[in-house]
Chains A and B, each alone.
Chain A
Amino acid sequence: MGVPLVQVRDIAMKYHSPEGEILALDGVTLDVDKGDFISVVGPSGCGKSTLLNIIAGLVRPTRGVVTIDGRPVEGVSSLVGYMPQTDQLFEWRTVWKNAILGLEVQNKLTAEKKEFVQSLLARYGLWEFRNAFPRQLSGGMRQRAALIRTLATDPQILLLDEAFSALDYQTRLVVSDEVKDIIVQERKTAILVTHDIAEAISMADKVAVLTRRPGRIKAVHDIVLTCAERTPIKCREAPEFRDYFNAIWKELDIHAG
């Protein structure tokens, strides 16, 4: 496989406020190979979203470097596609206009790119809805539209920041199946940040566990599940699922109350 696509090296992040400073991350090191789907789980407030923002080039770390494809990250890059917590479709734009938002911003709206977005919409069942406004779509369709918006600029790495947390449980299961399927089909590398252990295991090839603040990588698990269809919902029934869940649960060291 050679050099990992994403290399996170000894990242630390401090936040300052009049009340004092907070060390959100301290010495995070992580490799992500091309084509991998890796989940990062951690207790709330452990800085997992911060880590994602740093990889996306939206925030500069206090210490350490991230390299993507051998080059250090110094700002946002078209290699990376970012998916926020909620779909953030623009209500006043149609599905089509939402899908081409990134291309529009980057001034890359060529006929060829338009065709590419058309094919994405068609492949994932949104072409008939291209003229619909977001409020006319179901939760699952909205999430697919948001994913296509990110895929439209053809990034290599997708960063999913608790991307399903705003959805209700049933929709969330269906959407994670769909999203996983699309990411595999489009051969993307993905990093999913979540606090949901089951979601993390069911979607990913690897799960990285972050400690409580200041966040550090505590362990990285290779997820190997025996299930007929490798879809997140089916994988939840795999015999190994419980074991992974229990191991990660212990590592997270969550105390009630």
Chain B
Amino acid sequence: MQVKDAAMSPEHLAYLRSLRRKRRNIAAARVLLLVALLLLWEVGANLGWVNPFITSQPSGIVRTIANLYRDGELFRHIGVTVYETVVGFTLGTLLGTAIAVVLWWWEGLAKVLEPYLVVLNSLPKISLGPIIIVWIGSGSAAIIVMALLVSVVVTILGVYSGFGQVHPDRIKLLRSFGASKGQILLKAILPGSIPTVVSALKINVGLSWVGVIVGEFLVSKAGLGYLAVYGGQVFRLNLVMTSVIILAIAAALMYQAVVFLEKLFTRWQQ
């Protein structure tokens, strides 16, 4: 974006300048807001406006992170939680898509299972936690299953309805070429549903975090959810806040990664 482009009229240049100014102001305000909140928190805790024992404070959080890092614990906990989440939502999305394919193939089965899926979809999957722990035991596997369960039903419903949105003329066209059902699936239904699957992935990232963290609350000896619960039990609020903040950053980064994947898979849309 060159400002001194001869082809642009002065009005257009002024417009572009004001656009840039606006963007800059918004970015500055965002940073300022964060800094102000952190400052207020830190100063408030130091001056005794709030009790740092129950509210924690930024300097304490930084210290906690540094300590965890020194003990080599920081990346272990982050690693465990991120691993469980990634595996959970990937499996949830793949399994959900696979089941949607099965339902598409056997429409009668889809009709039979419809009310069950509706009930399962409205059930808070977290409530299955105790059952999963009894069945699978208290380890990473149970947590991954939680994350998977939270996302799988919504994926089935979303992707299956995505399959239904493929234009009937498209299927007719393939049939006129003599396409088999499998060819219709592979050539039109699945590739046409990639945007639907990716948007399911976007929802599933968030849902899987919920599954993993609750799972870690219930069982586990490592992970950010474990740190938060442990910190709460021993009243070390610095530890609780630290895990929440790291969680927020990790979740945001993972979401961005999925957005990047979406761009990659739907290049033909741009």
Contact = CB atoms under 8 A, between A and B. Distances in A.
A76 B178 contact: yes
Contacts of B169: 84-86, 88
A81 B177 CA distance: 8
Given A84-B169, A86-B169, A92 B177 contact: no
Query: B interface, how many residues as a size bin?
Result: 10 to 19
B173 interface: yes
A56 B176 CA distance: 7
Contacts of A76: 175-178
Contacts of A80: 176
A106 B187 CA distance: 12
A82 B167 contact: no
Contacts of B175: 58, 76
Contacts of B192: 90-92
B79 interface: no
A242 interface: no
Nearest to B167: A88
A105 B183 contact: yes
B268 A133 contact: yes
A70 to B, nearest CB: 20
A63 B86 CA distance: 57
Interface string A79-102: 011101110101111000000011
Contacts of B188: 90
B269 A91 contact: yes
Contacts of B183: 105
B170 interface: yes
Interface in B75-127: none
Interface string B181-198: 001000110011010000
A153 B269 contact: no
Contacts of A133: 268
Most chain-A CB neighbours within 10 Å: which of B174, B188, B268? B268
Given A92-B191, A105-B179, A86 B167 contact: yes
B268 A92 contact: yes
Contacts of B167: 86, 88
A81 B174 CA distance: 11
A78 interface: yes
Contacts of A187: none
A101 B187 contact: yes
A82 B174 CA distance: 9
Contact of B176 (A82, A85, A104, A135): A82
B172 interface: yes
A73 to B, nearest CB: 12
B173 A153 contact: no
B183 to A, nearest CB: 6
Given A105-B183, A105-B187, A88 B177 contact: no
A92 B176 contact: no
Contact of A78 (B173, B178, B179): B178
Contacts of A106: 177-178
A88 B191 CA distance: 14
A69 B9 CA distance: 67
Nearest to A91: B268
Which of A76, A78, A92 has most chain B Cβ within 10 Å? A92
Given A90-B191, A91-B269, A92-B194, A82 B178 contact: no
Given A86-B169, A88-B169, A92-B268, A58 B176 contact: yes
Nearest to B176: A82
Contact of B268 (A53, A78, A104, A135): A135
Contact of B269 (A53, A56, A82, A135): A135
Interface of A: 53, 56, 58, 76, 78, 80-82, 84-86, 88, 90-93, 101-102, 104-106, 133, 135, 153
9 contacts: A58-B172, A85-B169, A88-B167, A90-B187, A91-B268, A92-B268, A105-B174, A105-B179, A106-B177
Given A88-B170, A105-B179, A135-B268, 13 more contacts: A56-B176, A81-B176, A84-B170, A88-B167, A90-B170, A90-B188, A90-B191, A91-B192, A92-B194, A92-B268, A102-B177, A106-B177, A135-B269
